[in-house]
Amino acid sequence: MLLVQGGLLGFGALWMGLAGYPFLRSPDPLRDSLAFLLLFYALMGLEAAFARLFPKSFRASEALHAQLGLLMRSQGITHHQALVLALASGVAEEVFFRGAVQNVLFGGWMGVVLQAAVFAAFHPVPDRKAWVYPLFIFCGGLLFGAAYHLTGSLIPGILAHYLHNARGFYQLLDRPR
């Protein structure tokens, strides 16, 4: 899994560098902090809304995540390693999908929508009952893309993506066996 994230990060960073796409247009710690908090809580709200609006499919998605948790535990993945994986996925996916893909796909709001579709396509599910998961990922991609488009900074997305994934990995590792 880290190999995939490393590939996304390397390819995305190279793409951004060669094309001159900004990682951070202009530093603004207050803006980025507020955008991060807004984005993280929007993701939490989106998750709660999907659980309420699509309970059966959401439960099927959670069952797939539970299988991931079992796999992580069977491989001996610790909480510290899960934090590294959450950080790797947060950084790599933001650099690749928002920093590189969003910029090359027309930029602007069209780029936000198109990168969200590509982001969702990279998160397939093997169970048709969990159809809501790609939709959730698409909506999350829209939020991440909008944050990058509006702030010109990958920092809010990286932080929110990391924290969201870290919370999820901790929940998976802490579930009863």
Q: Are 157 and 147 in contact (CB under 8 A)?
A: yes
Nearest to 20 by CA among 103, 90, 102, 93: 103
Checking if the pLDDT of 107 tops 90, the result is no
pLDDT in tens, 50-102: 999 999 999 999 999 999 999 999 999 999 999 999 999 999 999 999 999 99
Confidence of residue 175 (pLDDT cuts 50, 70, 90): confident
Q: How many CA atoms lie within 13 A of 128 on its CB side?
A: 0
Q: Which pLDDT score is estimated for 177? A: 64
Q: pLDDT band at 2, cuts 50/70/90?
A: confident
Instruction: Render pLDDT for 28-58 as a digit per residue (tens, 0 to 9).
Output: 999 999 999 999 999 999 999 999 999 999 9
Q: List the domain boundaries for the chain.
A: 29-174
pTM attached to this predicted model:
0.94
